[in-house]
Structure 1
Amino acid sequence: MTVALELRHARVRYGPLEALHGVTLAAPGPGLTVLLGRNGSGRTTVLRALAGTVPLSGGAVLWDGTDVTRVPAFERARRGLCLVPERQAVFASLTVRENLELAAPAQDTALDAYPQLAPLLDRRAGTLSGGEQRMLALSRALLARARVVLVDEPAQGMSPAVAARTYALLASLDACVVVAEQRLPPVLHDRAAVVYELRRGSVLFSGEAAEFRRREAADRTARRRGPSPSG
């Protein structure tokens, strides 16, 4: 596995509160990495730390083995990193067409990926549904041909079929792709992916998706059996 992006003992503070407590992780490139955790687990902060939109209070960010901890977010974007946040990922006052044109003049790739956008090209992006806005935001990322793609809840608001299509697209990219989700999407159960589970700003689990599924199944079995009787 070739590691493209790393956090090493990363710490992030929001005022007096520490959101990441020495998180270490490695994302392959090309390849898909999934950050799992409930709200408040730190998964969104990990994406922001990798993108450079929040500073580290400790630790380091490495990209292809080079320390980029002090490289600002705009420079990381210029070098080929694309962040798709959970909210405000599109320019609401611009049309769908104008949003796509900001990423690349040719829109065929985006419309091939999400043909649902074709009849919406002249609509203001702010009038789209949540799922349609996610499709538009991801289309812009596809058009950018980024080396690193970071996406917070990529399938939010999408139907199961469109969500499956979205993950198939992300998994097929020749890029380091890191996504944040609350749960492992069913479509990834049989795909090769690196999984990190976070809780309260720390890594609880790291391994392959298949290993994570086995662990979940074992936990469910243990819960059904209940506590062992005392002797």
Structure 2
Amino acid sequence: MTTISLRHARVRYGPLEALHGVTFAAPGPGLTVLLGRNGSGRSTALHALAGTLPLSGGAVVWDGADVTRMPAYERARCGLCLIPERQAAFGSLTVRENLELAADSYDIALDAYPRLEPLLARRAGTLSGGEQRMLALARALLARARVVLVDEPAQGMAPTVAARTYELLSELDACVVVAEQRLPRVLRGKAALVYELRRGAVVFSGETGEWERRAARRTGSSPSG
């Protein structure tokens, strides 16, 4: 079991503060969802966990150890995998070469995303947005990371592939943190932690069922509607 968390985290972009003392914990194995509109701070929170953005205050804690000053490459060596919203694959390399960077054998990746097999000789930069997301996620599956951070995992994917993607993420023996604008339909009624961010602050924390009931009260609809 592993846990990664932000504690009173602050991140600045020049004079602007993007995270205002954000605190949350993501345990694993399991799925944690960071919800929020563009500009809410959800992507910033992922990059703060990964070490690709420095904190101006607060801490990143991984399994009880303060890793705030640990460089991103060292976090990666320790088993952290970040899949950003853009440029998550090496565009100048082929699909096969991208997969071989993660593991010598990539049958697991092709089993997860059969659509990639006929694309093995294609350069990743020529793939559609959804195909590039599949490739990036396939590499994460091969990496067998302890912590997997994904910004909008199903972006550009067909609904069936998106559902398969969340099924794969939910089955990982890892702490999985995803950032989404809305709670994916496939997660409704499933066990997952939800943190909603708004303007750089956490405004809700709880399980998916609690979030759905809260959202239903705000819209006046039923939770399943």
TM-score, with length taken from structure 2: 0.97
**Which residue of 1 is the match for residue 25 of structure 2?**
26
Q: Which amino acid aligns with 2:77?
A: R
CA contact (8 A) 1:12 1:58 kept: yes
User: What pairs up with 1:182-221 in 2 under 5 angstroms?
Assistant: 182-221=181-220
User: Is it true that 1:173 corresponds to 2:194 in the alignment?
Assistant: no
What SS class does the counterpart of residue 10 from structure 2 fall into? Answer: strand
User: Is it true that 1:157 corresponds to 2:121 in the alignment?
Assistant: no
Point out 4+ residue stretches in structure 1 off by more than 3 angstroms. none
Distance 2:189 2:107 in 1: 29
Q: Which amino acid aligns with 1:106?
A: S
CA contact (8 A) 1:3 1:26 kept: no
**Which residue of 1 is the match for residue 51 of structure 2?**
52
**Which residue of 2 is the match for residue 109 of structure 1?**
108
Distance 1:106 1:126 in 2: 22
- TM-align CA RMSD: 0.9
Report how far residue 79 of structure 1 moved: 0.2
What SS class does the counterpart of residue 90 from structure 2 fall into? Answer: coil
**Which residue of 1 is the match for residue 40 of structure 2?**
41
Distance 1:90 1:6 in 2: 26
1:82-131 Cα offsets, whole Å, 9 max, x none, are 00000000000100000000000101000000000010000010000000
Report how far residue 190 of structure 1 moved: 1.9
Count matched residues: 221
Q: Which has the larger radius of gyration?
A: 1
Distance 1:92 1:62 in 2: 32
Q: Which amino acid aligns with 1:192?
A: A
**Which residue of 1 is the match for residue 83 of structure 2?**
84
TM-score, with length taken from structure 1: 0.94
CA contact (8 A) 1:197 1:206 kept: yes
What SS class does the counterpart of residue 220 from structure 2 fall into? Answer: helix
